[in-house]
Structure 1
């Protein structure tokens, strides 16, 4: 409740107007039975037509006012509710944007999607009920009880006798529904995870004819979600008939004993009618509040999951007091860098790595799969922080720079080229928001992408499907490279970014890069010797250790691991 209340109090004026509408509506709802009783006892029973008309007009005026207040309550409640959920989702999204890989692994991408969408939706439903009913029903119940006691203390005993049974039912339902709600949301996380994996890996699933397996896998999780939902909905559905049974039983008893008292002359007809109205408001208010209370465990589960996202602090935080990026040239120095993934008990994936990369140099990394190449270069934009040692940029520890300023000076091209839905131009502007069309075409030309983009009907305004699926793997890689080039950073990081290119395009792209990028530090992770053989420095990694550093020729002569990799790709003449 603390999470929801925190967001509700951000909109104090709307809450105040909501409360005013509720209070006015209660006065009107309880005023009508009082006027009705007065009309019957003093007007109808005395056959005073003028008095009946007078009270009738007052009731009409009060009813119209009540309708207006009810409409206002709905409008204010809806506005307040939507603003609260908008703020909640904005805060979650903003916090998620600053998460490092560690937080994504901890919470899970599918779970984060569920928390931002379905959990927020559950909270929105609950708040909608609270703002319309939750404020109104306690006050309506309290006021109705006062009126019940004032009108007929003997008959009020039936109401007080029913309250313990109502309370017991509400508490039992709330206790049973909380674990069911927890299980339901976890099952929804699993559904999202399987659906996300299935849609992303659809071609692989079809290639291995595994559709049946995936259907069974999804059906298993979906069945679990359905079963937990059935139990929850059955529980909620059984509450209302039970409440109405008790409600109707009380009404029968009140009417029965009220009729006896009227017959004995101890109670007026109008007073009994008003009493029935008061009881109706009292019990109906309690029942509505009970419905809200029964919704609370489910909303509380969702609110706690949302709060967990909001309370999760990034393990690589922004250094607001750090240095800015002005004057960064791009000289890198790894000083005995060791790294182990946070929360894992395995040995470090990188151990005591030391090397330097200066502006104008191209430094390449090669090694067997799992040797730590990609992990090593991901430490530079601080996707992770080093466990031991330090990385220096222009003689200053990376951690002493503002994180956002540091990343502005890095052009990172990941192993898997990721493009966003939108036009080619919009994807290029992702690298430099104020880039001109001329700069875009220049970057595309360097990345060897201008030819196939110019052949498109809309050229740089060509729409990309989700993930760039309407382009080939090699085309997506070249667009991702162009997006980094247009930024003109001080450090370029190519994480096996040439793997989908043919040898001719690879060679042409690297030649264009060499001509255009003369004062930047270029880091290349690659599996192909032909991609890195002309690098100024090649770092050979093996199981997280630096085996050797040198040029292509030097390593062929001194490093057996490098020679083994080279011999598997190059001819004897090229090795000589």
Structure 2
């Protein structure tokens, strides 16, 4: 509840208006029965048409005021609840932006999406109910009980007997619904995860003819979510019939007791009419107020899931007084770097040391799982080293402000990620202020200009979600163009040429040499032919550096590198090397 109150505190003025409209609405709703009672007991019984018309006019005026209060109450409630949900989603999104890969793996992408959307929506519903009901019903309940006691203490005793039963039922429903709500939201996480995997992997699923299996997997999770939802809805649906049953029983008892009092002349008919109206408002207020507690467990689960994100302390932290000085970088160095994943036990990288100077091209090669991608992911601090240090011009990268550090880097992953929008938007993602000339130049260097110019709208042609309307090679070239237009001081290519044919690969690398001459270039590669002219080649095996040198030096001194080269090059090429 503190979590919700924290956000409510941002809208004190609207809440004050909301409270004023609540009191106004309650006074109107309970004032009309009193006026009707007087019309019956004074106007009708005394046959005074003037008094009846006067009271009728007053009812009209009060009703208009009541309608205005209802509209104002609805507006304020909707405004506050939707604004709070917006703030929560903004805070969650901002927090997620600080997460490292470790936190993403811990929560899961699907769960983060569910918490941002569905859990925030559950809080919106709850807050709206609080503002419309939780503030209104205590006022209505208190005034109704006061007026019933004032009208007839004996009849009020019947009303008082129903309240404990309603409260007991609500507590029981709330207690039973809490664990079901937790399971329901977890099932929704699973539902979103399977949906996401199915949609992104639809080609693989169809290629292996596994549509039926995926349907079964989805149906099982969907059925589990449906079962949990049914249980909650069944519990909530019990409250209304029980309420009306209790109210009808109370009304029967009241009519029975009231008939004897009217017959004895100790209760007027108008008072009975007003009492019944007070009774209805009192019990309805009690039911509505209790519905808040029925909704509370689900909102509490959602708030807890969101709060878990907001309270998470990211492993990768931006230093409070990080270095903000922008200057031309001269040297990048790994100093006895070792790395263990936060949830792992064995070292993925062990005692890696090398130095890359401005203008150098450093290539990393090795078998699958040797730690190549892990190594380069340490440079932009996707993960932090476990031992040793990575320095830029002698300064540990952990001392740099994250935005300054990452601004020095142009990262091109093996799996190119494109965003929905135009080709120009995707290239300018690397530099929002890039001119048309810069954008087109970067596309030309990346060998993307030809296929872009063949598009109907050229650079204004749309890229669909996940870039499904371009090939793998085109994605990689657009990703490379995006990095070039950024003008970084460190280029990191994580096997970013794997989808390119040999001819395009060769032309692209030649163009890159001129473009990246004043930068450090780090390349993770599988093709020996593409790194033969690297300033330095580092051979990794099971997380260890087993070779370092030029292509020719490694052929003579590193058996593992020779095996890799021999599997790709001809004997003549090996001999010439």
TM-score (norm 1): 0.99
Other structure's SS at 2:568 match? coil
Q: How does 1:10-29 map to 2 (within 5 A)?
A: 10-29=10-29
- 1:364, distance to aligned residue in structure 2 (A): 0.3
**Residue aligning to 2:36:** 36
**Residue aligning to 1:285:** 285
Quote the Cα distance in structure 2 between the aligned partners of 1:318 and 1:16: 39
Q: Which runs of 5+ in 2 are unaligned?
A: none
Per-residue Cα deviation, 1:276-310 (whole angstroms, up to 9, x for no partner): 11111110000111112101111111111111111
- 1:330, distance to aligned residue in structure 2 (A): 4.7
Other structure's SS at 1:383 match? coil
Q: CA contact under 8 A between 1:330 and 1:491: conserved in structure 2?
A: no
**Residue aligning to 1:238:** 238
Query: Is 2:98 the counterpart of 1:98?
Result: yes
Change (3 A) 1:325 1:212: farther
Query: Is 2:304 the counterpart of 1:304?
Result: yes
Quote the Cα distance in structure 2 between the aligned partners of 1:247 and 1:9: 37
Query: Is 2:194 the counterpart of 1:184?
Result: no
**Residue aligning to 1:367:** 366
**Residue aligning to 1:451:** 450
Q: CA contact under 8 A between 1:411 and 1:491: conserved in structure 2?
A: yes
The two structures, once aligned, show a CA RMSD in angstroms of: 0.9
- 1:516, distance to aligned residue in structure 2 (A): 1.8
**Residue aligning to 1:319:** 319
Per-residue Cα deviation, 1:151-181 (whole angstroms, up to 9, x for no partner): 1111100111111101110000000011111
**Residue aligning to 2:492:** 493
Per-residue Cα deviation, 1:463-504 (whole angstroms, up to 9, x for no partner): 001111111100100000000000110000000000000111
Q: How does 1:517-556 map to 2 (within 5 A)?
A: 517-556=516-555
**Residue aligning to 1:395:** 394
Other structure's SS at 2:417 match? coil
Q: How does 1:10-409 map to 2 (within 5 A)?
A: 10-344=10-344, 346-409=345-408
Quote the Cα distance in structure 2 between the aligned partners of 1:343 and 1:145: 59
Q: CA contact under 8 A between 1:419 and 1:476: conserved in structure 2?
A: yes
- 1:328, distance to aligned residue in structure 2 (A): 3.5
TM-score (norm 2): 0.99
Q: Which runs of 5+ in 1 are unaligned?
A: none
Quote the Cα distance in structure 2 between the aligned partners of 1:533 and 1:309: 46
Per-residue Cα deviation, 1:118-175 (whole angstroms, up to 9, x for no partner): 1111111111111111110011111111111111111100111111101110000000
Q: Aligned residue pairs: how many? A: 575
- 1:266, distance to aligned residue in structure 2 (A): 0.8
Other structure's SS at 1:46 match? coil
- 1:322, distance to aligned residue in structure 2 (A): 0.8
Per-residue Cα deviation, 1:179-235 (whole angstroms, up to 9, x for no partner): 111111000000111111111111111111111111111111111111111111111
Q: CA contact under 8 A between 1:328 and 1:409: conserved in structure 2?
A: no
- 1:343, distance to aligned residue in structure 2 (A): 2.2
**Residue aligning to 1:472:** 471
Change (3 A) 1:82 1:319: same
- 1:2, distance to aligned residue in structure 2 (A): 1.3
